[in-house]
Amino acid sequence: MPNTFTPQQFLNRELGQLEFNRRVLAQAEDEAIPLLERLKYLCIGSSNLDEFFEIRVAGLMEQIKLGGIATGADGMTAQLTLKLVREQAHQLIEHQYQLFNAEITPALAEHGIKFLRRTHWTDDQRAWLKDYFFREVMPVLTPIGLDPAHPFPRVLNKSLNFAVELQGRDAFGRNSTRAIVQAPRVLPRTILLPPDISGCEYGFVFLSSILHAHVDELFSGMEVLGCFQFRVTRNSNLFVDEEEVKNLRLSLQGELPQRHFGDAVRLEIADNCSPQIEALLLKEFKLTSDDLYRVHGPVNLVRLMEIPGMVERPDLKFPVFVPGVPTVLQKKGADMFKVIRKSDVLLHHPYQSFKPVIDFIQQAASDPAVVAIKQTVYRTGADSALMEALIAAAQRGKEVTVVVELLARFDEEANINWANRLEEVGAHVVYGVVGHKTHAKMLMVVRREDGRLRRYVHLGTGNYHPRTARLYTDFGLFTCNEEICADANEVFSQLTSLGRARKLNHLWQSPFSLHTEVVRAIKNETLLAKSGKRAHIIAKMNALLEPVTINALYEASQAGVKVDLIVRGVCALRPGVAGLSENIKVRSIIGRFLEHTRIFYFRNDLKHDVYLASADWMDRNFFRRIEVCFPVLDKKLKKRVIDEGLKAYLQDNCQAWEMDGAGQYHHKLARMAAKKCAQGELLGQLASASVKTTT
């Protein structure tokens, strides 16, 4: 089957992302999930939509603005995609607020967690909040009256603002009828009242309610006719021409502040906003009514994410668990190098602890026998024990090389700060390859042993980020296999030096060999099936979009290969279509943890090849990023990856969603069969503390 594509064979990426958000929102609807966790899912869905507008919708609008008429593999133009996205986003956001107001808020109130509405404040609450306003809020507000001397202020991306309608003249005789009040980001968006004032265990008031109640204090002697909250979402893509700049870091530092003021792509306003203010805001932000979202409630639900942390109600949250540690590492002060020399070590996060990774680099930093450390950094957070260990290693005179990806979206500032600190202590800091993001997760330690140098590596599917290691599912592998270590060293050399890519022993690498090897492995299963042998492919990833790979999977299906795909997010492949993909099944797992693992299994005539990777099957991962895909060679560890990372998820009948050929997802619920929840069972198997396995 040649690589010729018809649009009917592919699903749209943007619409697929909205489908993913529907599955996240379904978690907020699920009454089997603890109530405060349902609130979190609502916030996560809102955060996902923010980024969707900032990046994907912004990209569509920019493409249309520049006159682009190109279509994707699905054949849809940017204009048609944007039209459908707007329609579905309006429906999704409306449902989101209906769920918040009609289900989650009343359910929280039944448990003594209340959002106190302004119209229902008692005299004591009103007095407490008035004092709070004058003491904590008013001193940091800067209301701006709109007149020729005070043009419309610059509005930060996703900030909380208020448009105020006024009547009367001020002290200077001005009769401007409109003003803007911007809520500084230093102010909390939800304020917890004392129980004796709120009348319940946890009584919260929105900052917007406090400002609405006291807005007349900001405009002395004038009549406030209306006060309406609004929020604008802006294009957050960074425009840095890597080919033209001489210093990427300096150019990026100059561009980052402008991210907050990119072109507007969405306007959210209160549902009671007057037509006059609506028209003013749309004109100011150069948007149309299609970009306007009227909401019944806070214009930024993401801010409610802090509430579960403020409420001490363990019964309304997921059970606490302690990540497990492999037996070989449980001895206090275990020598990581000695353990890895004995055998490879596999970590499955978050069920198993990320601490061994921190121990590994901290031991390397303090070990006199260690002469060099090399690491890639994509996302690591503003506070990182790993980065501190690298700094300490450099201070001790070790050769430290860090490949920092400056263009890791929304982590650019943190990465620049780490790069500065590393350079200050003498570490070698490089920024990868122009035009290719460094997304590979690699850590290598070089140690002098018995008169020779030995290399140790850690390769992973996720970032070196201790916080997300508690929230994302990922695998990490420690090994001192000489060929794999030599491959990792070669990739580091490509990133820091110059020269042609050499053939690697085991690693598949983007942009050179990963795509070729993945397609080759798929076609190998196809040939085995055509020769009458049993063939099977299982692949787990975040997204599946690349057309040539999808076409190879279609061909494999038609040859009789059984294909099981576990795709958390967007999948452009249509499964179960007669004559095209009858043997392909696609499922998505949405649960307590964000599924982030990339695993590729090929039966390969009973060789059972298993690979872990930093890459999804997307164009950008195959062709525009530095990625690594590495085999699991140890038979016991290979079985663990198959059992824990694939079989458990294929058997899940609690948190699984199965996709049909039209791109719609159906929740696969246990009925007659026993309940199988992959994440819950893995917590029970691998975590140290006992937990429930149903959620």
Q: Residue 249: helix, strand or coil by DSSP? A: helix
Q: Which residue has the tokens 């009789």?
A: 560
Element (H, E) at 601: strand 599-602
Asked if 380 and 353 count as a contact pair (C-beta separation under 8 A), the reply is: no
**DSSP E strands: which ranges in 352-413?**
370-377, 399-404
Q: How many C-beta atoms lie closer than 10 Å to residue 671's C-beta?
A: 7
What residues contact 279, with CB distance under 8 A and at least 6 apart? none
Q: Long-range CB contacts (< 8 A, 24+ apart) of 633-638?
A: 633/344, 633/481, 633/484, 633/506, 634/343, 634/344, 634/346, 637/344, 637/346, 637/477, 638/608, 638/610
d(CA 492, CA 503): 14
Q: How many C-beta atoms lie closer than 10 Å to residue 248's C-beta?
A: 16
Q: Which residue has the tokens 């149903």?
A: 694
Q: Is 123 exposed, middle or buried (0-12, 13-18, 19+ CB in 10 A)?
A: exposed
At residue 231, φ and ψ (nearest 5 deg) are -150, 135
Asked if 333 and 62 count as a contact pair (C-beta separation under 8 A), the reply is: no
Please say if 596 is a catalytic residue: no
Query: Taking the chain, what is the end-to-end CA distance rounded to the nearest angstrom?
Result: 43
Angle between helix axes 248-255 and 412-424 (nearest 10 degrees) is 140
d(CA 80, CA 68): 12
What residues contact 164, with CB distance under 8 A and at least 6 apart? 143, 178, 179, 180, 181, 215, 218, 219, 224, 226, 227, 228
DSSP 603-649: -TTTT-EEEEES--BSHHHHHSEEEEEEE--SHHHHHHIIIIIIIHH
C-alpha distances in angstroms, 158 versus 208, 265, 290, 306, 488? 15, 11, 18, 17, 41
As given in the structure block, the two tokens for residue 254 are 């100059």
Question: What pairing do the DSSP bridges indicate for beta strands 113-115 and 190-193?
Answer: unpaired
Q: What is the DSSP letter of 314?
A: G
Asked if 396 and 366 count as a contact pair (C-beta separation under 8 A), the reply is: yes
Q: Which residue has the tokens 């290693």?
A: 393
Catalytic residue among 214, 436, 439, 515: 439
What secondary structure, in 3-state letters, does 506-567 show? CCEEECCCHHHHHHHHHHHHHHHHHCCCCCEEEEEECCECCHHHHHHHHHHHHCCCEEEEEE
Going 177 to 300 to 213 to 289, the CA torsion angle's sign is positive
Catalytic residues: 439
